[in-house]
Amino acid sequence: METPLFVGEQIHGLIPQRPPIVMVDTLYSATETEAETGLHILEDNVFVEDGRLREPGLIEHVAQSAAAFAGYGTFRQGLPPKLGFIGEIKQFRISRLPLAGEDLRTNLQILGEAAGITLLSASTVSGDELLATCRMKIFIKED
Amino acid sequence: MIMEKQELIEKINAALAEEFEIDVEDITPEGDIKATLELDSLSLVDMVALVESESGVKIKGSDVAQIKTFGALYDYLTEHQN
């Protein structure tokens, strides 16, 4: 059985967001260049309308997945999570909006880093079904 | 797979010219990368990702600022190929 690195409220140690805007609940794995996160979509999720997670919720899930990935890096250095900003989102393609009750898993891969900006590719699945892909640039604010 | 330097240069130049919509002849060894490709702080990382993908060489974030010209970029990639 897979043992996540961080799950549930533990994830608050990696990201600056707090309920009800927390859109990632699991960090399954993380390496220098890749991570996998998850989210169980609750009925009362603020981004759920008519039983489906809407587009802004998917985008926020990917953004917070990136934040958790970055937060895990600072956690390993014994530092608190840093504030991150989305610099750009490109090629966001959604094939289906997930239903409340589904479990999302998002794979993140770092494609490049320069001048404090990280370019990531993300793909989100539910089970074996690909739901969304995108490229995102994030800027992590240094203290 | 290790590429010969000229092969690497041609591959990188072709990819950069296509991605940033410039003529490949505008890319010269002494040319300034940011000025030639009209890069800003956000698109700089696109250049890095493309070059890494085409060359198979990881460019350290701390090294990016030191690489000003295409010639310096070619040298860096050649030196860091496995």
The answer to whether residue A141 scores a pLDDT higher than 90 is no
B60: Cα separation from own chain's centroid: 13
Q: Which CATH number does the domain housing residue A86 bear?
A: 3.10.129.10
Domain that holds residue B17: 5-80
CATH code, domain carrying B58 = 1.10.1200.10
Tell me, yes or no, if A113 comes closer than 8 A to chain B by beta carbon: yes
Residue A91: φ, ψ to 5°:
55, 40
Return d(Cα B11, Cα B78) in angstroms, integer. Answer: 13
What secondary structure, in 3-state letters, does A66-112 show?
HHHHHHHHHHHCCCCCCCEEEEEEEEEEECCCCECCCEEEEEEEEEE
Q: How many helices (H) and strands (E) does chain B have?
A: 5, 0
CA A118/CA A110 separation, integer angstroms: 7
More confident residue, A113 or A81: A113
A119 interfaces chain B, CB cutoff of 8 Å: yes
Domain annotation covers residue A1: no
Q: Which of B19, B43, B45 to mutate to test the interface with A (most CBs of A within 10 A)?
A: B45
Instruction: Give the tens place of pLDDT for each residue, B10-33.
Output: 999 999 999 999 999 999 999 999
Residue B3: phi, psi to the nearest 5? -95, 150
Angle, alpha carbons A139-A141-A83 (nearest 5°): 95
Domain assignment present for residue A115? The answer is yes
* A49 within a domain of the structure (yes/no): yes
Distance from CA of A51 to the nearest CA of B (A): 36
Instruction: Name every chain B residue with its beta carbon within 8 A of the beta carbon of A114.
Output: 44-45, 47-48, 59, 61, 64
Residue B53 pLDDT exceeds 70: yes
Cα within 13 Å of Cα(A26), Cβ side: 16
Neighbours of A27 (CB within 10 A): 24
Least confident of A79-83, A124-128, B41-45, B56-60: A79-83
Average pLDDT, chain A: 92
Task: Specify whether the backbone of B19 is left (phi greater than 0), alpha (psi in -120 to 50) or beta.
Answer: alpha
Q: Does A115 touch chain B (CB under 8 A)?
A: yes
Domain range for A59: 6-140
- Res A1: pLDDT: 64
Confidence of residue A140 (pLDDT cuts 50, 70, 90): confident
In angstroms, what separates the C-alpha of A127 from chain B's closest C-alpha?
Answer: 29
Q: In chain B, how many domains are there?
A: 1
Nearest to B41 among A117, A118, A119 (CB): A117
Q: Which of A86, A113, A118, A141 to mutate to probe the B interface, most B CBs <10 Å?
A: A113
Q: Tally the domains of chain A.
A: 1
